[in-house]
Chain A
Amino acid sequence: MRVAAMMAAMCAATVLAAPAGRAAERSVDPLGSPRWADMERSLLSGEAYVFDPRVKVEAPDLAENPMHVPVTVDATALPDVKEVVVFADFNPILEILRFHPDATSAYLGFRVKLQQSSPLRAAARTADGVWHVGGTLVNTAGGGCTAPSIGSTSTEWQKRLNEVTARSWNDGPMSGRVRLRIIHPMDTGLIAGIPAFHLEALTLRDEAGTPLMRLEISQPVSENPVFTLYRGKRDGVLQAAGRDNNGNTFDVRIAP
């Protein structure tokens, strides 16, 4: 499976090599967003990039609930991904999250709050320093970033803040998949009287403490985040540790 993916990636890279030389062609945003120049400057710091269909961003064309828009980022067709940043051009807070797949696949599923219809993009930085940008358009009624969290209107969550539930799948078609959910209101700070209060870091390590994936999480990730990722075929306990912007921490072990 991995070999096949790598071969596919190599083939795709060969095909892309010719047009990649022409700068003008590269910089035309396939999603036609008037915000792209700003995105490039603020999210990619003006570094080299290429629009690349090998970075797949899956999300519904029409998202029913702007508070919970499902996003799946799959950059596994690219070799040696160091970092992936996910962002939405028309959100008041652009960056959604950033992940470093140190020893996992460059794959992450989660849910996001959208303030209005927007391109939803992922840029994957490969070892050569080039950002590969993929994305999709999501239509939504909006308001996702300026609606209060369920958590902010009740006190129930306080007792369970940073509580983690998780499960791993070890055989069958989902082999190697891990899903984890963390209880957190993920308040954006854009509502009067409700300060920003959100998870900002999550690291997954193997039993020996070696990092498998590091996540930097921003406000637009949905309340009570659920992450889906692949840990690969490694056996053994998985460690998940993290903290929010108020210094509350968690550190748990997920049995295989």
Chain B
Amino acid sequence: MQRSFLAQNPSVIWFIAILALFTVVVTILSEVSGVGVISTSFIKTLGKTLCLCLVAITMDVVWGYCGILSLGHFAFFGIGGYAIGMWLMYARTELIVIESLAAQAIPSTAAEISDAIGNQIFGVVGSSEFPLIWTFADSLFLQLLMVILVPGLLALAFGWLAFRSRVTGVYLSILTQAMTLALALYLFQNDSGLRGNNGLSGLQNIPGYRDVPQATVSIIFFIASAIALGAGYVFFAWIVSGKMGNVIKGIRDNEARVWFLGYHVERYKLFVFTVTAVVAGIAGALYYPQAGIINPGEIAPIASIYLAVWVAIGGRGRLYGAAIGAAFVSLVSSWFTGGGAPNINLGFYTIQWTDWWLVLLGFSFVAVTLFFPKGIGGLFDLLMRKQS
């Protein structure tokens, strides 16, 4: 008998309810509502964390449900950030340039404005020409399209090549890692057209809304991130439930058997890989305006491995686990590295957490893999079992 989607997945209702409550509470406590208990910078941290939760969920779908350990999803996240960052940077520079040229005796020609913008943006890498990939940078709509298209097409092309030739398991992981490394190395070049090592900056300023205070901008992005996370959660919960979800999970558990049952495994894999890449790109497009800066270092392979770490700590194969893992590890991480954790004095040596946090994280990660393969999400199973 067919039950409704929500009745099958009570966790979806719980997750949305908690997320909505959290969003409302944070908004009320923010500076915008006048209470001001939570600072603007912390709102940004929370908003960024929600975006990381979303990309962690995509990672969970592709790894925890479909069994593809992709070490490239943070690259898709970064591509989304670059795509929106190009518009933010171009539009803002254009406004500044037009404003500064307006004071002159005669109006400027289009070529003069374009040259001045090019100088502003690319002067740092010793160029003033607009590279080809900036063709659409003046259009918000087209760049938003890029946020979806570029990660989607890249994932489609890469996935088609990889799944078609039956590259699986750790080989696929290494291959995706190679893809990520290639992308990062490409972006590190000064003549990549994306300002090389400098990356794109000043993304926290929204063009045309200079009078709007950052407190308001941050809360808008926070709410947008929460909505995206909620929508993404429902979407992926729907995908992984039902018949398609069963096929996907079947691929994870025994790929050969699913082939023999007559399913085109590579099509399912390609679908999951591409869709998750697109959502990762959207998450990145929401994340980087809150972070304010994006550079190629963010895309380096290690970031994608950390993504896998979050999902593993949170608990694979359950969407809320990935979100919890991402939120928990990234918040605890910033607490430790930001100097929030008290140093421990052992008498002969003082443990400073800014130095020792990564050691702790590394070893606790080994411990989680060895002793709690279900991660934090596994705790919910224990609770459920006690209730029943």
Please determine whether chains A and B interact with each other in the same assembly.
no
Which residues of B are interface residues toward A (Cβ below 8 A)? none
